[in-house]
Amino acid sequence: MTIALERPTKKTRSAQIREQLGYPIIDTDVHTQEFEPAFLDYLEQVGGSKIVDSFREHLPGAGRFRWFQQSWEERHKYRTARPPFWGRPTKDTLDLATITLPKLLHERLQEAGTDFAVLYPNLATLAPQIKNDEMRRAVCRAANLYHADIFRPYSDRITPIATIPLNTPEEGIEELEYAIKELGLKTIQIPGYVTRVIPGFEKYPEEVQREATWIDTFALDSAYDYDPFWAKCVELKVVPTTHASGMGWTSRRSISNYQYNHIGHFASAGEAFCKALFFGGVTRRFPTLKFAFLEGGSAWGASLYTDIIWHWETRNPEILQNNNPANIDREGLAELFRVYGGAEFQGRAEQFGSGLGFHGQHLSPPNPGELDEFAAAGITKAEDVRDRFLNHFYFGTESDDTRAAYAFNQKANPFGDRVKAFLGSDSGHWDVPDITAVTSNAYSFVERGIFSEEDLRYFLSIHPLELYTSLNRDFFQGTAIEKEAEEYLNRA
């Protein structure tokens, strides 16, 4: 019996729920896998046979997979983090084929209850992190050509991201213009950061440089001014999204346990980028530009939003004066030490400031311009934090991630707001064993009292509609949900 004959003839529970809900469901994170022989044809077209040979020899992301070539002694010696393995659900052959065959994916999408999906192909998510400049740019260009071609016939229900390298703003702008203007792609993925060698270590061997790195998040303390890139996104009416990985960062460097390294790594990378955009003032300087962070869930977004407001309320320039060392009555402090201090305190008045905030470097006040760390973000009151954060940041969340409850807990969130979580199913990876269960998983949030029906609509429909039409009102024109998108825009 063939696989096709084994397919169910009745509607899945997800499809039935979609009919019941009566509004379009948008999945913002469906993973696909490139068919490598066909992709290499595109890579050769872009970079020639030498690039193809080098690609085969040094696969993108090879640094992440060094672990597999090392002995246990080498893993201990270099503390090489255990990378992902067995990342595809293989038990269902139909699901496995679906992630690499565009026609089959298009045909089956509604089995998951999904009307429209944004695709994050596997290689495309890795390509911007390739270290070699020539290889990185060639792979990104070839990936964009390949995906634009193979998914173009199915654009009524699916759209692939364009993968944009961003080691410099110039290379990002060049690929962005090509992908949008020449290929007609309409959504992009940028890396959430690039790793750069700390300048003081550039004179050391490559093995040292590989470890002596810093994380450049493009918006705070960056090596370059990325404002021209953000301006180009606004000009081309495209929303930057990121699917950044924090595997191998700091504590996520177990040499033996992938799960230890995996838990929380997308959220960690997303948070680093999100904080940089906020504190670096990008959301102030570009008031119409929104950003989306995929696969990290939304609990971290709710936590960060609350945390920034708490830090503003306890560390704003006015409140910070409560901590000014100039406030200290040193004579009064010395008298208290004399009266209440034991023998170990006597005769040490000149050292009283050690640990109390006015010893050594603390004796000199910092530059007044350095006191207000919220200045670049343009924050003068807590409501400004709300506007700079909630109006700009969206958080992709798997359909079975109950921690989305934090994002929709309006009683707990400052100002009674929802943090903008939306469906990013991660279909195609090991954590989605049944790609047809996406909508039924999400609807279980309502059945279990985690979401209200209204929350669910924001999660599945309103937030993604809001994001993708924020710069481009015609984003869904020509798609299966064009009418519903237009109705939403008219209401909004």
Mean pLDDT across 427-439: 92
Query: Percent of the chain at pLDDT above 90?
Result: 81
Q: Which CATH number fits domain 11-315+376-491: 2.60.120.280, 3.40.50.720, 3.20.20.140, 3.40.47.40?
A: 3.20.20.140
Q: How many CB atoms lie within 10 A of CB 479?
A: 19
| pLDDT at residue 386 tops 70 | yes
Q: Binning pLDDT at 50, 70 and 90, where does residue 368 land?
A: low
Q: What is the pLDDT of residues 89-148, one digit of tens each?
A: 889 999 999 999 999 999 999 999 999 999 999 999 999 999 999 999 999 999 999 999
Mean pLDDT of the chain: 92
C-alpha to C-alpha distance for 245 and 441, rounded to whole angstroms: 25
Question: DSSP for 419-434?
Answer: P-EEE---BTSTT-S-
Model confidence, pTM = 0.94
Q: How many CB atoms lie within 10 A of CB 306?
A: 16
Query: Percent of the chain at pLDDT above 70?
Result: 94
Q: Binning pLDDT at 50, 70 and 90, where does residue 333 land?
A: confident
pLDDT score at 64: 64
| pLDDT at residue 178 tops 60 | yes
| pLDDT at residue 388 tops 80 | yes
Q: Where are the domains of the chain?
A: 11-315+376-491
Q: What is the pLDDT of residues 184-204, one digit of tens each?
A: 999 999 999 999 999 999 999
C-alpha to C-alpha distance for 404 and 298, rounded to whole angstroms: 6
Mean pLDDT across 328-349: 83
- Please measure the distance between the N-terminal and C-terminal CA atoms of the chain and give it in whole angstroms: 50
C-alpha to C-alpha distance for 82 and 64, rounded to whole angstroms: 8
Calculate the CA 1 to chain-centre distance.
Answer: 42
Q: What is the pLDDT of residues 49-58, one digit of tens each?
A: 999 999 988 7
If you ran DSSP here, which 8-state letter would residue 347 be given?
T
Q: Check: CB of residue 465 under 8 Å from CB of residue 427.
A: no
Residue whose entry in the numeric block shows the structure tokens 């100002």: 415
